[in-house]
Structure 1
């Protein structure tokens, strides 16, 4: 199984918005304000800055050439942040998310921050495991008091395990 990251082109923004519908559906259990409209759709995510601001980087996650999810990164020169990360349920437990996360860390060397909302225990466990594997347990975790105790992991790619 080959996991690849492909930069999302502006002409593919509608595909990303389609996948974001699934992301919002899954995420709505943790963020109650995410609701569908009268047409049964979640509000489109504002993603225009991913093609106009050089700090933002959208990628499709593909498995053997097929769409499997997306990752959206913000890298401002001080820190890189995982803004959104999503893989389709079909790929759960197959190492797709782990492989994609490690690839994105390699694309943006330096300091990283990865945040998960409170109560999203599956995401917290996933990111702790991936970052721990990647850094050999050399990362720092804190809770963001401003964001109602969301978990935040910080690390540097220099700590990666080769």
Structure 2
């Protein structure tokens, strides 16, 4: 998809990422019973860490030059992890998310993990397909519980 750009965000992009994260958290609010703060925002604590810690990377996803989403990546115990991944609704089911995810995985060779809440069925299906296509094989998730909630953890390798 040559009209798709995944650009590493710089600190000057902080406000843009924070605004996109508001849409992301809003989408999750019906699944997680999240409450908006008194400021009228959900806020995303820790966003500034993506410019102060070397094992964190923030990306803006653009389609045809327009903002389409974001990806936040972190390295935890020598494993790359998709911390947050969001594509605006207008760009969903058009290949944007899958191509952006593959681009991110390709930039960081090594072991990867993608965590998905089981009750988020559309995301679970998306990650199953995207990871299988990237890895060239089906990747079985590991079922686990985090704070009493069912999650699926996908582990795979990127050769870069």
Structure 2 length-normalised TM:
0.92
Q: How far 1:141 moved relative to its partner? A: 1.2
The offset of 1:39, in angstroms, is 3.8
SS at match of 1:27: helix
Residue 132 of structure 1 corresponds to: 132
Any idea what the Cα deviations from partners look like across 1:2-49, whole Å, max 9, x if unmatched? 1111111101101110111100110112221x2112343213432111
What secondary structure is seen at the aligned counterpart in 1 of 2:47? coil
Say yes or no: does 1:116 pair with 2:110. no
Aligned-residue offset at 1:139: 2.6
Shift of 1:157: 1.7
C-alpha displacement of 1:91: 0.4
CA displacement, residues 43-96 of structure 1 (integer Å, 9 cap, x when unaligned): 343211100000100000011111100000002472100000000000011100
**Structure-2 separation of matches of 1:81 and 1:68:** 21
Runs of 4+ residues deviating >3 angstroms: none
CA contact (8 A) 2:18 2:43 kept: no
Aligned length: 158
| SS of corresponding position for 1:21 | helix
- Give the gaps of 5 or more residues in structure 2: none
* Alignment check: 8 A CA contact 1:20 1:45 kept: no
Distance in 1 between residues matched to 2:95 and 2:101, nearest whole Å? 10
Q: Helix, strand or coil for the counterpart of 1:16?
A: helix
CA distance, structure 2, for counterparts of residue 130 and residue 35 of structure 1: 31
TM-score of the aligned structures, taking structure 1 as reference length: 0.90
Note the 1:1-162 alignment, pairs <5 A.
2-32=3-33, 34-76=34-76, 78-147=78-147, 148-158=149-159
RMSD: 1.7
Which runs of 5 or more residues in structure 1 are unaligned? none
Q: Is the 8 A contact 2:115 2:152 kept in 1?
A: yes
SS of the residue 1:149 aligns to: strand
Moved more, 120-129 or 71-80: 71-80
Aligned-partner SS, 1:28: helix
* Contact 1:17/1:45 (<8 A) preserved: no
